């Protein structure tokens, strides 16, 4: 990473943070708009990006949580700090349609917290959190431990902290996302850098069935957390190895724009090409082009045909009702 230039480092950091935030929410069943997340991060880091869009209140709150955790990784983790993160996740005071306790530990009034699957009458309880009356005491122990001078490796500490926080389940909702933020904070502390070049949440998302199973097995077992730590470390290694894919995409993007530095393009074309280079999902058609860039269908067709003539886009071979286009590879 040290060999990367300033702009490429920023691009790598932006790509990783975007992926981390999106996947940490998907693990918990929340699906965010990639463009909104990327734009919100860029604004808060003071980075200029092409195709910036407005982001909603929830996205901004989620982004602020992650950036506050990783940019200020050396600061103590306190109840106030965790409650501020929680408030950012639930700016309306509701989780879906339900009103919840926000920015404070859960209370007895809210009833027991259970992780349950199955239909009504055939429920299976995978985990039941400690009684709400015990939460404050347990969180005092947890915060004292996490803020103490590290007597164990910080990566091992991140693994234990993740499990311990989820087991206490101090909030009525949002515990998974905050556990991942604590994990990222401790990994940033281990790296001694606020810049993120790998996404643990992305790899956990890929292995989420394993993730929930190892959590359940560990929480229902005795005090031996060896299997959980081994799983966490294995997943972290896989995360770092997969970082090469993100970096390759960033290098490809840099090479592309270096090659086309003098190519004349309008802003719509540049915005769409950046979306493709950032990992645009699905088929690129003239209809999608028009919708994304907010132009007419005729204008979209002209934009696309111009890029085809310049050997930047080409028609995809796959058949279908609508013609779709893909980027011409640099070596073609």
The residues assigned a catalytic role are: 169
User: Which residues carry a binding-site annotation for ATP?
Assistant: 211-212
Using DSSP, state whether 93 is helix, strand or coil.
Answer: coil
**CA–CA separation, 156 vs 162, rounded Å?**
10
- Can you tell me the distance from the alpha carbon of 256 to that of 232, in angstroms, rounded to the nearest whole number? 36
Known binding positions: 211-212
Give the number of other CB atoms < 10 A from CB of residue 118.
Answer: 10
| CA dihedral for 98, 101, 105, 108, sign (positive or negative) | negative
3-state SS, residue 102: coil
Instruction: Report the Cα–Cα distance between both ends of the chain, in Å, rounded.
Output: 29
247/203 Cα distance (integer angstroms)? 16
Of the candidates 290, 326, 285, 289, which has an alpha carbon nearest to the alpha carbon of residue 308?
A: 326
* Alpha carbons 290 and 171: distance in angstroms, whole number: 43
DSSP secondary structure letter of residue 312: S
As a dihedral over the C-alpha atoms of residue 271, residue 273, residue 274, residue 280, rounded to 10 degrees, the angle is 110
8 A C-beta contact, residue 215 and residue 163: yes
Q: Three-state DSSP class for 52? A: coil
- Quick one: 294 exposed, middle or buried, by C-beta within 10 A (0-12, 13-18, 19+)? exposed
**Sign of the torsion angle spanned by Cα atoms 159, 161, 167, 172:** negative
Dihedral Cα 262, 263, 266, 270, nearest 10 deg: -90
Residue 121 φ/ψ, nearest 5 degrees: 95, -15
């Amino acid at each position: 990473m040290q060999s990367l230039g300033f702009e490429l480092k920023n691009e790598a950091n932006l790509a990783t943070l975007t992926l981390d935030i999106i996947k940490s929410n998907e693990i918990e069943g929340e699906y965010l708009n990639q463009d909104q997340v990327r734009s919100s991060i860029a604004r808060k880091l003071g980075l200029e990006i092409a195709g910036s869009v407005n982001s909603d209140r929830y996205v901004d709150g989620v982004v602020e949580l992650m950036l506050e955790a990783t940019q200020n990784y050396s600061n103590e983790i306190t109840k106030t700090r965790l409650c501020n993160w929680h408030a950012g996740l639930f700016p309306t005071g509701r989780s879906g349609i339900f009103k919840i306790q926000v920015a404070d530990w859960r209370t007895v009034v809210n009833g027991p917290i259970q992780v349950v699957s199955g239909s009504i009458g055939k429920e299976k309880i995978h985990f039941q959190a400690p009684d709400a009356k015990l939460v404050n005491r347990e969180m005092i122990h947890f915060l004292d431990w996490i803020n103490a001078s590290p007597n164990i490796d910080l990566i091992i500490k991140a693994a234990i902290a993740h499990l311990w926080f989820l087991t206490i389940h101090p909030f009525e909702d949002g515990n998974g996302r905050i556990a991942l933020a604590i994990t990222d904070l401790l990994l940033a502390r281990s790296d001694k850098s606020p810049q993120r070049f790998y996404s643990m949440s992305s790899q956990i998302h890929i292995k989420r069935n394993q993730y929930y199973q190892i959590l359940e097995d560990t929480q229902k077992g005795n005090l031996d957390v060896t299997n959980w730590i081994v799983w966490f470390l294995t997943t972290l290694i896989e995360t770092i190895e997969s970082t090469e894919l993100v970096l390759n995409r960033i290098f490809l993007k840099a090479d592309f724009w270096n090659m086309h530095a003098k190519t004349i393009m309008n802003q719509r074309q540049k915005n769409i090409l950046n979306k493709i280079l950032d990992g645009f999902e699905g088929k690129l058609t003239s209809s999608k082009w028009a919708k994304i860039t907010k132009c007419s269908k005729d204008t979209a067709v002209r934009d696309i045909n111009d890029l085809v003539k310049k050997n930047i886009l080409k028609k995809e071979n796959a058949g279908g009702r609508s013609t779709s286009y893909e980027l011409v590879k640099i070596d073609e």
